[in-house]
Chain A
């Protein structure tokens, strides 16, 4: 990295991706708050929250409304991927260094990362998406499928029962609740740490809000991508203006609000789970 790059910014996430993440975490928080209220219905905080937001009708309305919004965002996202990959023929999205699809390299880098944890080797050099970032992405994908399908089948139970036996609804609520708890706990611990709270990113990585990162961040967190872009002379293509101050502050405020909400919910659910 040279001195010229001081004060520069590069795009990592397009506005569309940032909007997707914003919809994702807003609806996720809304779904988690209303859903965990039902899951831990015997807890005092759950009953207080349910009555506070306007009763069961309100809880169910918001849960379903957030669910529908998240489903729409998910479908738009999947549709967009299919359009770009197969119509625009950008097959690099499906395999290769730019892809989110897990590849043998990820397994190797995971091993190297563990070696580095123990001081037995150098830190692996990650490309555009590190293996844990891919896990985050696919965990949401899997969660969306499991929670979404079980949720909609319970919502429209009398209709769905035409095609499946009633015992499916017993399984559906268990799947819905357990997978949601897994997702809530994962996001509010592992995801928060990996992307925001670990010493390398503390207190918050604002790249998902501003879309921009400094050359240092790009070179340190995604060195292989940086080297490739540099070698191909394509760094200029992703060159960005410095994010305006209000934008960074807004990102921080929203991000910390989400993290704070997440931690409160994490503590409440952990407390209620252990009782």
Chain B
């Protein structure tokens, strides 16, 4: 329900409810008369629960104009009957209510502790606009609000969920929010939705695998466009279920800046978790060795293949297409010749068909190693034994002395 629709519904509700009250001619109570009792600090019901409403806060809440009876419609006279009915937010917020009905919060957890409107929106008498910095669902406050449960290890354990709050707070999105105070930073609802939070395996969920590029693309539109042009994006569109999406490489909650060394050093292993053969041959190269040592001043997968618009060498648009190699390698190596880029950064010394030179060199070196150590290993062992025998014969004077 958008703001305009809500405005109409609220106006109509006020009109209808107040006219009904007037028509009944009985007990139309003003807010001030309710607050005469409920505005007294410390006022409690017979069970000891606070029934206090802060008049000042109520007057600045979004619901102030509605007065008390709009929500507490069963209170028509003074003193009113007890017990007072629980207020149904759905009377006005019907769309939110129907969204919430299908959400994981409603479906999965029907216990008393499962979140309902007030768990996130706070005290109903002080509810302010989502754009008001006092609101618990204001962008800068939202992670803490969700974190009340999703940062609680007990809840995480009970429902088998990762403790996402701390992961998010230390992520680039979390930093953007907490350090930089950016309202545009992605918070929980940016990816999961607000009332209609669906499980990630629900095809309608914004975090369902196939929907993730569009969800991230809501902010990262340029990256999404590049991703969709690349092999991974094409595979996803073609229905390859395990095609990598944004979160496969960047993670969902622990997203860190791609400029950090720690992220860059992890990427080769990440790509290698699918491209195992490519990762193994990369590891044999100088590029791979430098990366394995923990230095980033060398080429890793996406320096050559690009991070999002990854294309096979057969595609002329690809960064590794033969005609583009000089430019791609030249990013680090400067102006290089065609011959220089005929180097294969994934050569496999076990593949005699594609790399005969490398294959036979490797076999020759294996043979040389075995021959040298086979011969001299034997030579050394036999010499050692003979020396000890001679030493014993000569009474410990050494092998050479024995031959004198």
Interface residues, chain A, with chain B CB atoms under 8 Å away: 37-39, 41-42, 46-47, 50-51, 55-56, 59, 113-114, 116-119, 122-123, 132, 139, 154, 157-158, 161-162, 164-167, 169-171, 173-175, 178-179, 181-182, 185-186, 189-190, 193-194, 198-200, 219-221
With both beta carbons as reference points, the residue of chain A lying nearest to B361 in the complex is identified as A171
**Are A158 and B387 within 8 A (Cβ)?**
no
When distances are taken between beta carbons in the complex, the residues of chain B under 8 Å from A165 are 339, 342
Q: How far is the CA of A117 from the CA of B362 in the complex (A)?
A: 34
Beta-carbon contact of A220 and B336 below 8 Å:
no
Tell me whether B380 and A194 are in contact (CB under 8 A): yes
Given A169-B343, A178-B365, residue A154 in contact with residue B386 (CB < 8 A): no
Question: CB within 8 Å of A: which of B289-316?
Answer: 289-295, 297
Asked if B385 CB lies within 8 Å of chain A CBs, one says yes
B252 within 8 A of A: no
Taking a contact as CB atoms closer than 8 A, the residue among B285, B343, B387 that contacts A200 in the complex is B387
Residues of B within 8 A of A139 (CB): 372
Chain B residues bordering chain A, tally (CB within 8 A): 55
Q: Could you say which residues of chain A place their CB within 8 Å of the CB of B389?
A: 119
A41-B293, A220-B404 are contacts. A166–B376 as well, Cβ < 8 Å? Answer: no
| Shortest Cβ gap from A204 to chain B (Å) | 14
Complex: how many Å from CA A169 to CA B382?
40
Q: Are B400 and A167 in contact (CB under 8 A)?
A: no
Could you list some 13 contacts between A and B, CB below 8 A? A41-B289, A47-B293, A119-B386, A157-B340, A157-B343, A158-B334, A161-B343, A186-B373, A190-B373, A190-B376, A198-B387, A220-B401, A220-B404
With A56-B290, A117-B386, A171-B357 already in contact, the answer to whether A161 and B339 are too (CB < 8 A) is yes
Complex: A198 Cα to B384 Cα, angstroms? 6
Q: Which of A42, A59, A178, A179 makes the CB contact (< 8 A) with B283?
A: A42
Is A167 within 8 A of B344, CB to CB?
Answer: yes
In the bound complex, do residue B388 and residue A199 qualify as a contact, i.e. CB atoms below 8 Å apart? yes
Q: Are B340 and A116 closer than 8 Å at their CB atoms?
A: no
Residue of B nearest to A161 (CB): B340
Q: List 7 A-B pairs, minimum CB-CB distance, nearest first.
A: A166-B342, A220-B400, A166-B343, A161-B340, A41-B292, A117-B382, A178-B365
The answer, yes or no, to whether B224 is at the interface (CB within 8 Å) is no
**Which residues of B (332-382) have their CB < 8 Å from a CB of A?**
333-337, 339-344, 347, 349, 355, 357-358, 361-362, 365, 368-369, 372-373, 376-377, 379-380, 382
B residues near A (Cβ < 8 Å) are 283-286, 288-295, 297, 333-337, 339-344, 347, 349, 355, 357-358, 361-362, 365, 368-369, 372-373, 376-377, 379-380, 382-389, 391, 398-401, 403-404
Give which listed residue, B335, B347, B369, contacts A182 with CB less than 8 A. B369
B12 to chain A, nearest CB (A): 69
CB pair A182–B368 under 8 Å, yes or no, is yes
Report whether B286 and A173 are in contact in the complex, using a CB–CB cutoff of 8 Å.
Answer: yes
Q: How many A-B residue pairs have CB under 8 A?
A: 146
Name B293's contact: one of A56, A113, A158 (CB within 8 Å).
A56
The interface residues of chain B lying within 8 Å CB-to-CB of A59 are 293
Are B384's CB and A199's CB within 8 A?
yes
Using CB atoms, name the residue of chain A closest to B396.
Answer: A199
Shortest beta-carbon distance, B26 to chain A, in Å?
83
* A123-B344 Cα distance, complex, nearest whole Å: 53
B266 vs chain A, min Cβ distance (A): 14
**Given known A56-B295, A165-B339, A169-B343, contact A221–B400 (CB-CB < 8 A):** yes
Residues of A near B286 (CB, < 8 A) are: 38, 154, 173
Q: For residue B341, which residues in chain A have a CB less than 8 angstroms away from its CB?
A: 166
Please name 16 further chain A to chain B contacts, defined as beta carbons within 8 Å, in addition to the given A37-B293, A132-B379, A170-B347, sorted by A numbering.
A41-B291, A41-B293, A55-B295, A158-B333, A161-B336, A162-B337, A167-B342, A181-B369, A182-B368, A182-B372, A185-B373, A190-B376, A198-B387, A199-B391, A200-B398, A200-B400
Q: Are B361 and A200 in contact (CB under 8 A)?
A: no
Which of B293, B355, B361, B368 is most buried by chain A, counting CB atoms within 10 A of its CB?
B293
